[in-house]
Amino acid sequence: MSKSRAKSESNIYHVMARGDGRQIVFENDEDRKLFLALLRNRKQQDAPIFAWCLMDNHFHLVIQASLPVLSLMMQQIMSQYATSFNTRHQHTGHIFNQRFKSEPINDDSYFLTVVRYVHQNPIKAGITKTCFYPWSSYGEYIDAPRIASTALILEMLGGIGAFQSFHDISSKEKVLDVDSVRPKTRSLPDEEAFNRAFRLYNRNLLRDLKGAERSERDSTIASLKEAGLTFRQIERLTGIGRGIIQDIKTH
């Protein structure tokens, strides 16, 4: 039986869903655009979205809705996206964990903290040095809103300048996190590990590495090991078995 969700008195929730087995769910910008289109289409006047961020293998939302509306909305978005993703990438099976995670937000201070945390995700992952990231709602607060309902947060903080200053502060408060279930033995969070890999090698090369010449395969895997990726992370990126990965010596 599924665990019942904690209810927010304000109906504001921090929502997160990640790839099944931590797989990448946004392969390219077209994937991200599709997900945002679904998000925009399903957005209702009684379900404003205050913040969003799309990472490689998960996404975050801060949204106001009753639990029944939230559950239906997320089920529709995730199901439609999965169907399209599988068709376009010739993938089968689930791409998201079957159940999205949510946490209630019941006070103004934590509300602002979570919004900032969502926008700082790319910094934490080593993708950017600032909150300016094309696949989050941060830019909507600075420029013009498209999906996010920005007025409430800007009013609470006192305008765009105060919003930017608030995001320059790194919060230490614990927030629902994709890495909260990460095994303690893993040296790098998946987001950081994958981005290190993609800085070294093209995504398509990694995906096709299983059929490459042995020397190229072994050299690439050795480099990924030296970059700090675990056997499991390399296995998910390349489809090569853990036994082979384990036997390959580093340079």
Q: Compute mean pLDDT per 10 residues along the chain, 251 residues long, and list them.
A: 72 92 87 94 77 95 93 92 90 80 90 94 90 96 94 96 93 61 53 84 86 88 85 88 82 58
Can you give the pLDDT at residue 47?
Answer: 87
Can you give the pLDDT at residue 179?
Answer: 52
Q: How far apart are CA 34 and CA 173, in angstroms?
A: 32
Can you give the pLDDT at residue 182?
Answer: 39
Q: Where are the beta strands (DSSP E) in the chain?
A: 12-18, 49-54, 58-64, 101-105
pLDDT digit string, tens, across residues 95-150: 887 789 999 998 898 999 999 999 999 998 889 999 999 999 999 999 999 999 99
Q: Where are the beta strands (DSSP E) in 87-227?
A: 101-105
